[in-house]
Structure 1
């Protein structure tokens, strides 16, 4: 009886020793593992599952990596430092880390999906099964939250959305921030109550960070609604938020000279030409634009054309102004206002005019003096000899 008990004890010891030797820690091979063989995700989410390859042999091993099984329509990769890998060199008794990246389809149904990964080196192989549970309500990942997803204003306004980036996962994540906006729109991110622009941010597990999404539309953007999608792509999960800017129409005229100079030289009593430029800087068409001048007394200012029927947003037109100073205007500097006005829009500028008297009076004066001199000469010739 004693011999039987001793034999049974010896058999149990041998079996236990065999199981210990067969365990990964003592296995003479390679072992592919993860701390998270089952995770919960949302449809459309992008996740990364950390993996480890352990080399239990006495020599360095070049390990081939592959995904041997997975559902159709899912995009998967094995990566390290954002690079896709298919082989890894693992030193004896050491570990090498990599990530299993999974893009969950947007239209995937709720359920559990199985993936099988394999690490092999010559005749040694290790398989790892990972299960991903898709649950639109139960996944903890990343979210972008805002109380005011729609802002309204004119095209020359700057819009600022306040959002919260929330890391709902149980691990630290670095997020890359980006936005999809209409062509010509400028979008950038800043931390709340700060001015520094950022393109990425790191959040601890369970942390929330306030961000400002700053939006600047093009100068002449038309009225309408413009969607903007902001994204936070994390190292293990990501999130998106839909924002919207509503551009309201505005009227704005700009009137100046064609050269930009606000002064001219004019001759008294004569027509003096000045080219003007009127531009619609608003976002709405401006109709029935008229021109006026507060010229000095006895001056005249004419415009050609006198009226512009319509001017579309962003367009400009040239007008000819004819300035006629009074014929008896004294030489010197004069100033008056030229304006353009329409329903809801107005602009003006002050024009400085340097007046010169006409050379005709100088010619007449010279002729009078010449006549007087000639008369004196004639009288001297006729009566001077007597």
Structure 2
């Protein structure tokens, strides 16, 4: 057996060495001895090895019984043209009860074959023994072949210790002011700052008669939570105070405890209760306080009035503020109302109607309405979004005209903004038969206000060889906001005068020829 083979065999039989207890002070000396021994043993190999091993991470921390893995890159440094090399994989100094596995691309392997210059990355998985003592274990990964010059090693370190466990509770607003009888919500953050996952039981100690519960962001009630290492979660602690509580300061104690009771986190929260304010005698609400409508159309908002008292309530309705020239009304069916009487616990649905003027500009508007009963006043703010109502009408100066082939035809097209909102970049589009020349002026108008009109001069020229007959020309208006319907203009094309004279001459000749023939044969 070669020197390398003998040394590798001896190393495979050796138990891993561990640094522990008071021996920590001797760690540098042990490591130096280990390095010196390895250097001497592998001197013949490492100094001339054609194999390189690289590991980005060589030290990992786990608890006894856990698995740890390292990624190692093996490179065959032989020159091109040499034969591929098969490497056996081994962990030297493996402690008793530990297990090793090697994986390449998810498949478990025991050896690899590399071509000259080729590199592959293998994953070394080491399963530690549950009964291993805590401390630092020095291991050696070896990739070797039957040829000593292809063997190489990489030192690895595994530190066994129990994971750090730490739970923290944080509240951005630990003190909240509320009225007697109200339900209070504290936002709390539970953080797992340890190195292992924790299942935590949650509890809150509150004054007698008060109730508490932990609520997630999706409104679920929970009593425990699991957090992975480094994970945190935000919960709401909902505390329901009693109606007979005395105004003053109160303390809540929040606790998060691990299942084994080893890890605990406590946090105190404060609630300052003040006297309960007078409750409104009625509700005045709207389910849809924001409405969008086209300019010129009415906006409607549903309103619900509800008597919360044990007595009849007379409620007066009014508009506090509204845009200028807007018409407003409270309606029950088709009847306008300004004063409502409700029996105890009775509710009534109304409609608030707002109608903007026809010249209203596109934009957002607000209307504030009010309901008053005795000393209680409730307000609702309605939002109105008015969008443009656009329409363009096209009117040619005539719907029927005629022109001689080859001559220009000029007509006027008037475009009227019949909508309720201005339009911009106004122009027209003229479609004529193929081969006809079409032009119009001006090219465009920058804008056109509602009810205003703008005229375009359109010129079309049919080719001189156009066959006489009726033709259609289509015109439509264009703007940034709206495109009108097409309007058609009927054009009768007549033949040029020269062609007409030629026709007359031909007709005269034909008639003369017929007369001549008739006279000649009638004499016989």
| TM-score bin (small chain) | 0.3 to 0.5
Relative contact order: is structure 1 or structure 2 higher (C-alpha 8 Å, sep ≥ 6)? 1
Question: Which TM-score applies when normalising by structure 1?
Answer: 0.47
Question: Which TM-score applies when normalising by structure 2?
Answer: 0.36
